[in-house]
Amino acid sequence: MDTKNTIYNKNLHIRQYKKLTSPQWFTLVELVVTIAIISILSVVGFTSLWGHFASARDGVRLADMQSIYGQLNITLGKNGELPMPENYATITLSGNIISYQWIAGKSILDMIGFEWAWRDPKDNTYYTYTINSKKSKAQIMAHFEEYDVTKLSMIPNIIPKTYAASVIDYTGRIPGTIGKKIGIIIDSTTLAPVYGTGVNIELTTTTTPYTAYFNSTTKESGTGSVLADAFITNSSVSNSTVAAVGTFNLSSTSIAAGSGVTITTTCTSAPASYTSSDTSVATISGTNITTLKEGTTTITPVWGTCADVAPKTLTVTFGCGTSTISDVDNNVYETEFAGAGCWIKTNFRATKTPTGGSFASSPKSANGNSSNDSTYGLLYKWSTIMNGSNTEGAQGICPNGWHVPTRTEVDSYKVLIPTGIELAGGWDSGSSSYTDFNIDSYLWSSKSDYSINNYNGTSWVMKNKTSSDYYSLRCIKD
């Protein structure tokens, strides 16, 4: 019995020993999972470490900017002025120097005792440095990676693409500045700062798009007048450097409808656009005004920097061929110039006198059909068109400022060849019938011999009719 137990226990110990001393292997699934976990932990660790590096570099940048700015102010106190940036570009506004800009490089850092340090910790480049024209104000810019630049002052900085730094990729970086609001402009696309010995950037005329940073909440992107206006409004040095001058002018303040007017300016920076208070009178495209009809409109500049920004009044007078004229019934007539003057372009069709009174003799419709009235006009007796007057050239039933044409004037109308809608014919009192509809045109004159100008299908011929006949009327402008 004891022998059996002894043998059993011995075998058990042997099996356990073999299990403990045998090699243990991962299954394939266990191996894949383990590798995945290690990879994830590695990426997380590397990303976290890289983030710490970017944040650390931003911290260095901020400390560098503060140190440089502090030392520059010490230098200002000692020397009475700030050192010029190295290889600087000159920024001007209407020909007046606003600032000088490029870097706080070796010579400047050596001057203030820190040549060995103060470079971007990632790019190993010097920080952007700008001063005003009086060399009394400075501003420093760095390109951060993660830092919240709203804690800094954002200042406009100007960079001609021709001179933009091409070695460093600034895209994805965050421009930040400290110091005075001079204005640091960076290229709107590359975010690179401007530099270049002998380079001059005139804000009012530049066609290169820049973004101007003024502080944490104010920036402006654009070219020319937009950029110049931004500097004048926001920069701490532009207002003391450049005063608003000039005004805008109209090539004419009173002109006939249909004629063009040009806007010119002598302002510090030209207005971005202009508005017309009555676009039915005149419209504006750029600096060109198109006049449409009689009336007055006010032209007002938008933005721009002018000493005089008072709106200008434009008076648009009648323009023959462009302007229209209405009768007492509010029928509207186009106008045309022919012969002796400006005529209404279609036959008259008013049913009342200019004061709204009734006619002594009612007009007739062309060919006796009222549906013709809107296209052929009405037919009138001579006494009706003269409205009680026997004076040649009287206003008669024409609108104010217009009159019934004289014999000479109606004879001059022969320069025009009638079209179908003008061939209204007439009503002959002798035969008591409508005649020549769509064949002839007859136009009354105001001469008391009852003369008319008759277009017979080939040419105009002056004739005399009787006072009882009915014919068409074309008014002519006084």
Q: What is the pLDDT of residue 327?
A: 95
Q: Encode 6-46 in three state secondary structure.
A: HHHHHHHHHHHHHHHHCCCCCCHHHHHHHHHHHHHHHHHHH
With a CB cutoff of 8 Å and minimum separation 6, the contacts of 116 are 109
Give the DSSP letter string of 302-328. ES-B-S----EEEEEE--TTT-EEE-T
Q: Please state, in angstroms and as integers, the Cα–Cα distance from residue 96 to each residue in 90, 132, 232, 355, 365, following that order.
A: 10, 11, 12, 64, 74
DSSP-H helix ranges across 406-457 = 407-412
Tens of pLDDT, residues 101-116? 888 888 888 777 765 5
Q: What is the pLDDT of residue 104?
A: 84
Is pTM beyond 0.75? Reply is: no
Tens of pLDDT, residues 203-226? 888 899 998 888 767 888 998 878
Q: What is the pLDDT of residue 116?
A: 59
Q: Within 10 Å of residue 328's Cβ, how many Cβ atoms? A: 16
The residue with greater pLDDT, 133 or 420, is 133
Q: How confident is the model at residue 11 (pLDDT cuts 50, 70, 90)?
A: low
Q: What is the C-alpha separation between 67 and 118, in angstroms, rounded?
A: 8
DSSP H or E run through 332:
strand 332-338
Could you give the percent of the chain with pLDDT greater than 90? Answer: 30
Res. 81: pLDDT tops 50: yes
Q: How confident is the model at residue 45 (pLDDT cuts 50, 70, 90)?
A: very low
The topology under which CATH files domain 248-317 is Immunoglobulin-like (2.60.40)
Q: What are phi and psi of 405, to 5 degrees?
A: -65, 145
Mean pLDDT estimate for the chain: 81
Q: What is the pLDDT of residue 156?
A: 35
Q: How confident is the model at residue 25 (pLDDT cuts 50, 70, 90)?
A: low
Q: Do residues 54 and 123 touch, judged by C-beta distance below 8 A? A: no
Q: What is the mean pLDDT of residues 361-380?
A: 95
The residue with greater pLDDT, 459 or 384, is 384
Q: Where are the beta strands (DSSP E) in 94-145?
A: 96-103, 128-132, 138-144
Q: Do residues 323 and 458 touch, judged by C-beta distance below 8 A? A: no
Q: What is the pLDDT of residue 165?
A: 38
Q: What is the pLDDT of residue 354?
A: 95
Q: Please state, in angstroms and as integers, the Cα–Cα distance from residue 100 to each residue in 104, 127, 194, 257, 299, following that order.
A: 12, 14, 10, 50, 38
Q: What is the mean pLDDT of residues 246-254?
A: 91
Q: What is the C-alpha separation between 279 and 169, in angstroms, rounded?
A: 49
Tens of pLDDT, residues 385-433? 999 999 999 999 999 999 999 999 988 877 666 655 578 999 999 999 9
What is the length of the chain? Answer: 478
Looking at the chain, the domain(s) classified CATH 2.60.40.1080 span: 248-317
Q: Do residues 224 and 207 touch, judged by C-beta distance below 8 A? A: yes
Q: What are phi and psi of 69, to 5 degrees?
A: -65, -40
Tens of pLDDT, residues 288-344? 999 988 899 999 988 666 778 889 999 999 888 888 999 999 999 999 888 888 999
Res. 160: pLDDT tops 50: no
Q: Please state, in angstroms and as integers, the Cα–Cα distance from residue 381 to each residue in 97, 455, 470, following that order.
A: 78, 18, 5
DSSP-H helix ranges across 167-270 = 224-234, 238-241
